[in-house]
Structure formats: structure tokens, C-alpha cells
Amino acid sequence: MKTKLDNTQKCEFLLKLEDNIVCQRFFSVRNFNELTTHSLDLHYSVTYIVEDIIHQLKLKTLFLLDSDYKENSTELEQKEEHFTITIKKGKNVIYVRNFRADLYPPKVRYTVDIRPQISSILRELTQTLSSKKVATKYQDYSLLVS
């Protein structure tokens, strides 16, 4: 019997609002390319994911404001909050990205639901992390850490 010699790695996608987990998914990446952890490709993939989540938050905010939403004065005095996306390979953190959460009303930011997008998010990350050819230089600088 033939054994497959592919480099399959267990990875994790984690979206948090401050210290609260919003979404956590584990996924496997077949033919994992170690160079992708320090590549522009991973940065661009996560940027695309963040932009998609922000777009959904904006739509929910507009829908909420369109439905005669009334703000409380206590909601206006909110502290700065952030969403955090973390990509891990095993126990090692590969990538972390923060973006503001307090820009959206509490009713929107505390009810984030990315379940409809999670399959496309994981597909995007899997494709990126298994890419054979990746950009590891920016201008004249190498992104690889020795």
C-alpha cells in the first residue's frame, strides 16, 4: 500500500471581540508551505477577510439605523474595542490582525455572525497556506525571518 507523503498541518482560525471568542474553526491544510507564513499573500488574504467582515458590519449597521434605531446616551460613551483575527498553525501564531469594533453600534458588534462566510474564509486561507509560489519580498526587503 502506498503512503502519501504530503505535508498536512492542523490550523486554526479565531475571531475575537476583545477577550470573547466570536468564531473559532479548525481546518487542515494539505501541502502546507512554510514560506506562506511570512508572505504578502497571507497578508492580502486576511485583508480580504477583514474587508468582508467590515462590509457585513456596515450593512447590519445601516439596516439597524434604517429601522428607527434609538441610541442610549450610555452607548455613546463606549470604550475603544477591537476585533482580532488570529491564524495559528498548531500552537504557533502565524498571523494576527486587529480592527476597530467600537465604530459599530453595540447591537451590531455583539451579534456578529460570520457562519455564512466561514466556508469561503477557510477555503481562502487553505489555498493561500498551500500555495507553491508566494511573494516573500516587499520592495527590496525580505519578509523571511531568520
pLDDT single digits (tens) 43-64? 999 999 999 999 999 999 988 8
Q: What's the pLDDT score for residue 2? A: 47
Residues of the chain above pLDDT 90, percent: 59
Q: What's the pLDDT score for residue 68? A: 65
Q: Kindly state the average pLDDT of the residues 4-29.
A: 90
Encode pLDDT of 114-126 as tens digits: 999 999 999 999 9
What are the boundaries of each domain within the chain? 9-130
H or E segment and range at residue 101: none
Q: What are phi and psi of 50, to 5 degrees?
A: -65, -45
Q: What is the pTM of this model?
A: 0.82
Q: What's the pLDDT score for residue 134? A: 79
Q: What is the 3-state secondary structure (H, E, C) of 104-130?
A: CCHHHHCCCCCHHHHHHHHHHHHHHHC
